[in-house]
Structure 1
Amino acid sequence: MAHVDTGILSGTRDAATGLDEFRGIPYAAPPIGALRWKPPQPVAAWSGVRAADRFGPRCMQRPLYGDMVFRSNGMSEDCLYLNVWTPAHRQAGKLPVLVYFYGGSLLAGDGSELRYDGASLAQRGIVTVTVNFRLDVFGLLALPALAAESPRHATGNYSLMDMTAALHWVRDNIAAFGGDPSQITIGGESAGSMAVSALMASPMSRGLMQRAIGESGAVLGNLKPMPLAEAEQKGEAFMHKVGAHSLADLRAMPAEVLMKALGTTDSGGFDMTIDGAVLPRSPEAIYAAGAQAHIPLLVGSNSQEGYWKGLLDKQAPTPANYRAAVQRQFGASADEALHLYPGSTEAEVKASGTALEGDQFIAFSTWRWMDWQHKTGNAPVYYYYFDQPRPAKRDGSAGPGTGAVHSGEIEYALGNLAGNRVYAWTATDRRVSAEMEGYWANFIKTGNPNGAGLPHWPAVTDQDGGLLRQVIGADTHTRIDRNAARYEFLQRFEPDAHL
């Protein structure tokens, strides 16, 4: 049992793990009907005991990603639920807390996914929380009519408002699950990581977290949010597409009609917005001014966030084809790009092409976050490079990977290799996972990833023309990262940083 502000919850006890699990806890009112595209509203209290023994519905989303394994109770607009894993024998208000936000481009994902299961970290003495938040058009639509009805004259960013509401709920209620409301870490992967960087910048979530973890992605560099006017134009174009003549029309439309209008690809979607409230100005400006949360940050990206084949568009990895591709992309600056991403042999083309694709996809934005927080955040930053490829698939359909792909670190970091039955995990994978999860657990507990039995991980420090960075993989070690020149080059191709 757990007593929260709105009533009594009953979870389930797993004798094998020694954990209590509470699934499908409402943290905000269902955002349906007149509450569609409204900031999250308080939950209505209930009488008696409410069962929290099954995951709530996942938020409305298109089936865009094949690697998501859901345990949720269907799909619905009524989806603002969270889940808690905690040791069965605990004292109120004593344990550190992780609140984790899923990836999926803010278009898909769910807190019930097996790879985000909180049991392994909870067994290490951490109250672990996963959160559902509105997605796609339901979480990101911006319209002048929505701004007009908002007390803050803001529109969009409902996804971030949901996450902020969940953090308020955690602060106010987590002691009932053994959690310490003054020791909350927020974390996430990909879009979840981008959200963490935005929440650190937002005045609306200030003080709700004491540490942050970002796995591949930030709302900086090439992944900055949309200016409000651009976001509102996209919103009005969508409104016209579905034949709505007013905001009331749009709210009255069935969710399935809106989903069908979005199509079957992730192109042309919605995004976070510099709305004047959740994000009062660009994250670049906020971090540059040192106005973000001054909290310890553990952040990094993977060795194969992108792949050379994407750059060469099915052409052979020859130096000539590589040079032509770089010239098409960078024009007069191609020679500088080729100096930073050289390709004079086939092996070099594959390595540099993979690095360039990964940087432009998400590693550049992650570096930008690390760099700003290191310079202006007044708190330690721990920077990682994950390079453990997934092993062969169990069904024999694919051999081991050549690098750590985007999202490939999740099961390792959260201790959930066993929950992914696709891959034939090896003893090395399990050792890497134990190290990585150990780093994460120590950081959640203390703000420092170091601990007994783990290779030492120094905080980001300038050394010998680079920054100290931890390589996490079969050979975990510290190296001097000298890739700043690559990212500073890419930054020059982002001329409008909204500063």
Structure 2
Amino acid sequence: MKIISSLLSLIFLFVFIPQAYSQSNVEVNTSCGIVQGNYDQKSDLSIFLGVPYAKPPVDELRWKAPQNLDPWKGVKKTKQFGPSAVQENVFGDMVYRSNGKSEDCLYLNIWTPDVDPDKKMAVLVYFYGGGFVAGDGSEPRYDGASLAQKGIITVTVNYRLNIFGFLAHPELTEESAYNASGNYGLLDQNAAIKWVYENITHFGGDPERISIGGESAGSISVSMQMASPLSKDMLAGAIGESGAAINPALPPVRLEEAEKIGEDFVMQTGYTFQELRNLPTDSIFKIYNQSGRFGFPAVIDDYFLPKSLPEIFSNKEQAQVPLLVGWNSAEMIAEAFLQDNNMTKAKYTARMKETFPDKWKQAIELYPVKTNGDVRLAATDMASDRFISYSTWKWADLHANHSDQPVYRYFFKRIKPSPDDNPVDTSVGAPHASEIEYFLGNLNGADNANLSEDDFSISENIQRYLVNFVKTGNPNGNELLKWPSIKSSEDKTPVLLMDTVFKVEDSEIEARYHFLDTHYQNDK
């Protein structure tokens, strides 16, 4: 019996104890107090989840700029994701690991290889997409572990959304110290960048090497943080995946217009503004949902944003930092342009005439079709450009022509295999947001048996480019294919094509974007 007891003790020591201690406490002192995260032996990372970066924007702080945290006593445990911003999953593809939903949502998450202040590692602060109405930093596709394991600190940030993050109103402007309203979600992002700038040294980071990145609304956010006088001096680089705050992709509006939108919204609720602001969270959100509004616009408020992005970049007033930017090959479906599934030349021509009544022939030359079989691809290109590709192009073009910093442009073409239980026809190209898991290293073979070695190899190469860029401002190195930067006033624009085989080719579609530049009057 003693022999059996001894064997059981050894089994416990060698099997059960390592599992029990796969995570251990790690503590870091921040400007407001000590936070305790987990050191994860499996990933060899220290992970801090749900770290507060500003006071909860609740009660009297609802619809106000984020406020600095008060110091706390003792140790604050940061081992689970904080609440997501109040929202509905309007896109259907978002999976959260957050601790519920709340207006109390100003938390960030940190994955770091080492908490030694002497390490001075480069940092990537990443903003989620979701049209400024949905999204959360806890989404598995935004998990920061894979990039952090390659030698940088990765941070994801929650920020206010929809009515709670972007409502402007004359009464809010009047009571504001900076004489403006709206942009609360963007000011949250700025507060998070500031918190990282002031505290990341304690997590092993270098405050002088903070790059920001994001996809869709997150990319649009990056373009505005680059343009904002509040953020630009804290940035060392910027990464944009499909989106910039340039017409027609969620451009900011003048304060007077934003206030009028907010004033009309409140009037239609039947409440006075003061009555509305005193309602419980759920009541306000229910009223917002019933209104049918899809969020509220960002604001040119002479505080966070003094001008439109084309004006700021043309005046060289943006962050003068390297930019890595691009979009996917099928950002929007053909039906969005055709307004139905009639894939015929006749329908395509009719829509071109409606959209560009004075220049429809030129438009068809730039997006040509010879047979009915060409319509889907041409209409996809047009829908994608009008949705988000053109505005992203304009951002890259503005920075290349009004900065001495390099711009690296990519075109993501990989069509992600669909799971067997969810077949999707994506044969035309890579749809919007499909690059996220490749960029952040979060492809999950367990969820999709159809992923191949090619998919993981593509992801690995992209991550190597990104980590090089965050570390140095240049994505090249590590025996990767040379990725040339765009030079201003060049006749040819080199683009890195991301697919099974990576290639660099000169873009042959620049004329499309110059055409849309004139159409949207962003060339003035």
Residues 396 and 170 from structure 1, CA distance in 2 versus in 1: closer, same or farther, beyond 3 angstroms? closer
> Contact 2:28 / 2:115 at 8 angstroms: preserved in 1?
no
Q: 2:20 maps to what in 1?
A: none
Cα contact 1:391–1:401 (8 A) shared by 2: no
- Establish whether residue 141 from structure 1 lines up as the match of residue 178 from structure 2: no
Quote the RMSD (CA, aligned, Å). Answer: 1.9
- Give the C-alpha shift of residue 332 in structure 1: 2.1
Aligned residues: 497
Q: Tell me if structure 2 keeps the 8 A contact 1:463–1:480.
A: no
Distance 2:183 2:490 in 1: 41
Is the 8 Å Cα contact of residues 154 and 275 (structure 1) preserved in structure 2? yes
Superposition deviation, residue 348 in structure 1: 2.5
Question: Tell me, what secondary structure is at the counterpart of 1:204?
Answer: coil
1:154: which partner in 2? 180
Deviation string for 1:15-41 (max 9, x for gaps)? 111011000000000000110111100
Deviation at residue 315 of structure 1 after TM alignment: 3.5
Deviation at 1:250, TM superposition (A): 2.5
Cα shift at 1:199? 0.7
Q: Do residues 43 (structure 1) and 69 (structure 2) align?
A: yes
- Checking the alignment, whether the CA contact within 8 Å between 1:93 and 1:176 is kept in structure 2 is no
Corresponding residue of 2:193: 167
Give the alignment of 1:440-459 within 5 angstroms. Answer: 440-459=466-485
Structure 1 residue aligned with 2:486: 460
Cα deviation 1:432-455 (Å, max 9, x = unaligned): 101111111110111011112311
Counterpart residue type for residue 354 of structure 2: R
Which of these residues, 248, 253, 272, is aligned with residue 245 of structure 1?
A: 272
Greater Cα shift, 392-401 or 33-42: 392-401
What's the TM-score, normalizing by structure 2? Answer: 0.91
Percent of residue pairs bearing the same amino acid type: 43
Is 1:285 matched with 2:311?
yes
TM-score, normalised to structure 1, is: 0.96
**What is the SS of the residue equivalent to 2:411?**
strand
Please list every run of 5 or more consecutive structure 1 residues that lacks an aligned counterpart in the other structure.
none
Is 2:131 the counterpart of 1:83?
A: no
Distance 1:98 1:264, change over 3 A: farther
The yes-or-no answer on 1:187 pairing with 2:213 is: yes
Cross-structure match for 1:429: 455
Which stretch of the first structure deviates more once superposed, 381-390 or 398-407?
398-407
Aligned to 1:58: 84
Counting only pairs closer than 5 Å after superposition, residues 463-474 of structure 1 correspond to structure 2 as 465-474=491-500
Q: Which residue of 2 aligns with 1:296?
A: 322
What one-letter code is carried by the residue in structure 1 that aligns with 2:208? S
Question: Whose Rg is larger?
Answer: 2
User: Which runs of structure 2 are paired with 1:313-352 in the superposition (5 Å)?
Assistant: 313-352=339-378
- Alpha-carbon distance in structure 1 between the residues aligned to 2:449 and 2:93: 12
Residue in structure 2 matched with residue 376 of structure 1 by the alignment = 402
- The answer for the alignment partner of 2:261 in structure 1 is 234
Opposite residue 61 of structure 1, the aligned amino acid is: Q
- Distance, in Å, in 2 between the alignment partners of 1:396 and 1:297 is 35
Aligned ranges 1:349-364 → 2 under 5 Å: 349-364=375-390
**What is the one-letter code of the residue matched to 1:143?**
H
Moved more, 315-324 or 12-21: 315-324
Q: Which residue of 2 aligns with 1:213?
A: 239
Q: Deviations over 1:98-145 (max 9, x none)?
A: 000000001000010000000001100111000000001111111111
In the alignment, the residues of structure 2 paired with residue 164 and residue 295 of structure 1 have an alpha-carbon distance, to the nearest angstrom, of: 17
Q: Report the 3-state secondary structure (helix = DSSP H, G, I; strand = E; otherwise coil) of the residue aligned with 1:356.
A: helix
Is 2:356 the counterpart of 1:366?
no
Question: Which secondary structure does the structure 2 equivalent of 1:11 belong to?
Answer: strand
Instruction: Map Cα deviations across residues 360-379 of structure 1 (whole Å, 9 max, x no partner).
Output: 00000000000000000220
| 1:216–1:363 Cα contact (<8 Å) kept | yes
Q: Is the 8 A contact 1:391 1:399 kept in 2?
A: no
Equivalent residue, structure 2, for 1:14: 40
Q: Give the letter aligned to residue 439 of structure 1.
A: Y
Question: How many angstroms apart in 2 are the aligned matches of 1:452 and 1:414?
Answer: 18
